[in-house]
């Protein structure tokens, strides 16, 4: 069974506690299709619900329920229909809950996050924050249950499915200029791994500059987009996509080796609550960003050495000037990758310039 936030913390207790936390705000938009959301909420805990019960709980006719069940299936949910008995999700879904994430964040020691927005559907959480960026967006976290145009690095599409992925972005303002942001994507990768470890998920590593991998398979991707001045105030929108339980149709569209938390933990054990994961990632990220702003990249070098998926691997570096080869030998104090060529010389490779393949 997946862990569900609602099982840990009933709604009444949540409302009471949130009213005592005035500095954090949660917003949630109305769903793209409120009836479909209502239907999913009624099924989310994985119990079987009869057609009649669903109709009574959601106010939807039984014919309309059937139509929406089909739509949820197309969106990647594994829904079992048992004639005469009802409908059931094969795996419970911990639907994103802004109040739950806000509450968990507020209980973590330091958080520079002051707003959590949960959307049912967006084109991309990164695009949402980047569009018309204003400095007061700093500290805003945005999550979407569905991304219709999720973006990856190098113009790729980021694939995700309803209930089976975590797609979130955080806006952050920096005062020391874009040139001081070298190494930021590595810092984000480390923060994600720290959060996974806190949630009991071990064994992830960073493939420089910013993939989170397990045994060479991608578990999470990071897209950092920056704007502002080279030497003055600037901002970053940090997007993270984490595979939790990818459905076969979504997975078949991914053109690289991938994994998800369900595969890592084994199907019988289930996956951690998505709300708990989101809060852990945001809290870890916020701590890392505050440290990075204060002390730069250097303090993260040791963490990276522990999580370095490429160390000692033979690489092909695909750059605009052609391919080159060498052996990965860690990073420098700014977060650039050190590659030892055949003649024993170290070459430094900056992120963004290249694509890395292990040979
Ligand atoms: C990559 O590995 O190529 C980066 C993937 C980043 C995906 C995340 S999902 C949340 C945020 N919104 C996006 O459109 N992309 C990032």
The reply to whether the predicted model has a pTM over 0.75 is: yes
DSSP conformational letter for 137: G
CA gap 56, 346 in Å, rounded: 68
Contact 159, 253 (CB under 8 A): yes
**Known catalytic residue at 306:** no
Residue corresponding to tokens 């099982």: 7
| Residue 66 CB neighbours (<10 A) | 15
Contacts of 306 (CB under 8 A, 6+ apart): none
DSSP conformational letter for 33: S
Contact 120, 143 (CB under 8 A): no
**Known catalytic residue at 345:** no
Block means of pLDDT (10 residues each) for the chain, length 359 residues? 53 52 54 77 93 89 88 90 92 92 83 90 96 91 96 94 96 92 96 96 94 96 94 95 95 96 82 94 96 94 94 86 87 92 87 67
Residue tagged active-site, from 68, 218, 274, 287: 218
Q: Which ligand 1 atom minimizes the distance to the CA of 150? A: 14
Beta strands 165-174 and 140-147 are antiparallel
Contacts of 10 (CB under 8 A, 6+ apart): none
Q: Any bridge partners for residue 49, and if so which?
A: 87
| Residue 190 CB neighbours (<10 A) | 21
Lining residues, ligand 1, CB within 6 Å: 124-126, 147, 150-153, 156, 158, 167-169, 211, 221-223, 239-241
Q: What is the pLDDT of residue 1?
A: 45
Q: Which ligand 1 atom minimizes the distance to the CA of 240? A: 8
H or E stretch at 330: strand 322-331
Residue corresponding to tokens 């805003």: 140
């Amino acid at each position: 069974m997946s862990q569900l936030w609602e099982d840990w913390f009933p709604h009444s207790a949540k409302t009471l506690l949130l009213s005592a936390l005035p500095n954090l705000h949660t917003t949630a938009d109305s769903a793209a299709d409120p009836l479909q959301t209502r239907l999913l909420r009624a099924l989310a805990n994985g119990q079987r619900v009869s057609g009649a019960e669903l109709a009574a709980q959601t106010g939807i006719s039984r014919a309309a329920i059937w139509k929406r069940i089909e739509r949820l299936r197309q969106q990647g949910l594994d829904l079992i229909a048992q004639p005469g008995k009802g409908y059931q999700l094969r795996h419970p879904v911990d639907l994103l809950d802004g109040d739950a994430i806000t509450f968990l964040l507020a209980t973590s020691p330091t958080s520079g996050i002051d707003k959590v927005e949960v959307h049912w559907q967006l084109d991309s959480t990164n695009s949402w924050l980047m569009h018309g960026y204003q400095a007061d967006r700093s500290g805003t976290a945005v999550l979407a249950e569905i991304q219709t145009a999720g973006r990856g690095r190098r113009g790729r599409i980021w694939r995700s499915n309803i209930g089976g992925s975590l797609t979130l972005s955080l806006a952050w303002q920096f005062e020391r200029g874009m040139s001081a942001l070298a190494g930021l994507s590595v810092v984000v990768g480390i923060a994600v791994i720290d959060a996974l470890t806190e949630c009991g998920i071990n064994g992830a590593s960073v493939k420089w500059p910013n993939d989170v991998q397990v045994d060479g398979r991608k578990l999470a991707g990071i897209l950092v987009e920056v704007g502002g001045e080279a030497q003055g105030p600037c901002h970053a929108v940090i997007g993270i996509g984490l595979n939790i339980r990818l459905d076969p149709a979504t997975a078949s569209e991914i053109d690289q080796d991938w994994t998800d938390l369900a595969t890592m933990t084994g199907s019988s054990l289930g996956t951690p609550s998505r709300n708990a994961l989101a809060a852990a990632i945001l809290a870890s990220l916020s701590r890392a960003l505050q440290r990075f702003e204060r002390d730069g990249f250097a303090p993260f070098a040791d963490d990276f050495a522990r999580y370095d998926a490429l160390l000692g691997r033979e690489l092909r570096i695909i750059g605009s000037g052609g391919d080159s080869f060498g052996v990965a030998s860690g990073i420098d104090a700014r977060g650039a990758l050190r590659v030892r060529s055949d003649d024993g010389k170290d070459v430094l490779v900056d992120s963004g310039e290249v694509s890395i393949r292990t040979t």
